Amino acid sequence: MRYVPTVLLFVGLSSLLLSQDVEKPDWVKLIQQGLTLPDTIDCYFGIGSSKLAQDDADAKARQEFSLNIEAKVQTTISRNVQETDNVLRDEYSATAKVSSDVVLRGISITARYEDKVVKQYYALIQIHKSEFDTLLVTEIRRDLERKKAENRMNEEKRTEELRSRQAALDLKKQEEETRREEAELEKEQFEDFLNLKAPEEVVDLRNGEISRKGCTVALKTALSPFEVQSAYCSLAVWRFELFANAYFHSDKFLKSDMLDREQASLKIQLLEQAGPFYKTSLAFGVVGYSDVSSVGALDSVRPTYSLFVGGDVALPTVLYSYASVYVDGRKASVGWNCFPFPGNVGDGVSILVQMDYVWNDEWRDRFSDPILFQTGIRFRASDAFATSFTYEGHEFLVFSIEMGF
C-alpha cells in the first residue's frame, strides 16, 4: 500500500503529459522536432516562436513569412507594374519593398499555440500560393491605382503651380509694360519741359548743377535804394566748378559801396540729370567764407571753411518745375524754379521762390531774421545771358544780370 501514492502520482503526470501532447498542434510538434511543415510546395508559410509573449511570436512569424515570399513579391510587383503602366515602373518598383504595406496587407495569423510546459509561444502563417498570388496582385493593383491617383493629383498640382507662376509672370510683365507705356506717355506729355536745361540757381541758392558756360559773371544791384548788392564769377570744367562771390553794403558816410562779406567754393558734381523723368543732380564740395568790415582789413581776414551739398530734381507734374536744396555750415536753403511756358518760350521765363534758414548770426540780414523768404522772376535770352528781378533780404528789390563766356 505504501507504493500507491507514487503510482497515482506517476499516472497523473503521465495523463497530463499525454493530454498536453494530444492538444499540441502538429505544426508545433514538427517545429519542436526540427522538421519542416507539409504542403510547403503549395503554400507559403512563416513560423514564429518566443518566450516573451504571443505578440512577439506573431511578429516573428510575419517576418519569416515576408522573407519566404520576398522574391515572389518583387517579381509580381515588376510584372504588374509593367503591364499596368510603364511610367510607374521605376518609381513604384523602387519603393514597393516587402513590407506590411504590400505583402502583409490582408494576411493574418493562421494559428497560435502556447506551450505552458516549456513556456513558449508559437504563431503560424500559412496560405496557399494561388490564394496568396490573387491577394498579392489585388493589393499591388490597388497600390498602383492609389499611386496613379497621387501622381495625377501631384501633376495637377504642379500644373496649377506652373499656371499660377506663369499668370503671375504675365501679370508682372503686363504691369511693367503698362508702366513703360505710362512713362512714355508722360515723357511725350512733358517733352518740352524735359528737354530744358536745368537751372543752376534759384535766387542765390546754387544747387547741384554746373555753370552752362566755362566762365560766368554776374552783378546784382538794389533798385530802391540803388546800391550794388553782390558780384560773382564762376569757372566750370567738366564736373568741377570754382565759384567766388563778394557781398557789398552801402556806406552812408563815404557814400560808396563797401565790401561786406565774401565766399569762395569748389564744387564736384556726382550726379548729372540722372533718370529719364525725375531728373536729379547732386554735388558736394567745400566753401570758405568770411566777414570783411573794411577794405583795409582784408589782410587780417580769417575765413571759415565748411563742407556743403547741393542738389536739384525735376518735377514735371508740379507746374513744370525744379526743386533745389543747399546746405553748408551757415544755413540750409530750399528753392523752386517754375517754367510756366516750356512749350512756347522754353526756359526764357521762370518764377523763383526760395526759403533760407540761417543759424550763423554773422550771415543773417540786418534785421537778424533767421528765416528769409525770397522770390522773383528770371528772363533768359540764351545760355550766355539772363536777367532777373528779385525781392531779397526782406527789403530790397534787386536787379541782376548774368553773362557767360
H or E, element range at 84:
helix 70-84
H or E, element range at 145:
helix 129-189
Instruction: Please list the residue range(s) of the chain that carry CATH number 2.40.160.40.
Output: 196-404
Residue type for position 251: D
Residue type for position 387: T
Return the DSSP state at 154. H
CATH number for the domain running over 4-156: 3.10.28.20
Distance of CA 5 to the CA centre of its chain: 97
H or E, element range at 56:
helix 54-68
Instruction: Please list the residue range(s) of the chain that carry CATH number 3.10.28.20.
Output: 4-156
Whether pTM exceeds 0.75: no
DSSP sequence for 263-308: EEEEEEEEEEEESSSS-EEEEEEEEEEEE-SSGGGGGG---EEEEE
CA distances, 358 to each of 52, 292, 328, 400 (Å): 97, 19, 10, 23
Distance of CA 66 to the CA centre of its chain: 53
CA distances, 197 to each of 28, 58, 120, 266, 277 (Å): 107, 94, 104, 22, 13
Report mean pLDDT in 10-residue bins for the chain, 405 residues: 50 48 77 74 84 90 82 67 53 47 70 89 88 77 78 89 91 91 87 94 96 93 87 94 89 58 95 93 96 58 91 95 97 97 93 97 89 96 94 92 94
Cα torsion at 280, 281, 284, 289 (round to 10°)?
Answer: -110
Tell me if 247 sits within 8 A of 262, measured CB to CB.
yes
Tell me if 302 sits within 8 A of 174, measured CB to CB.
no
Classify 196-404 by CATH class. mainly beta
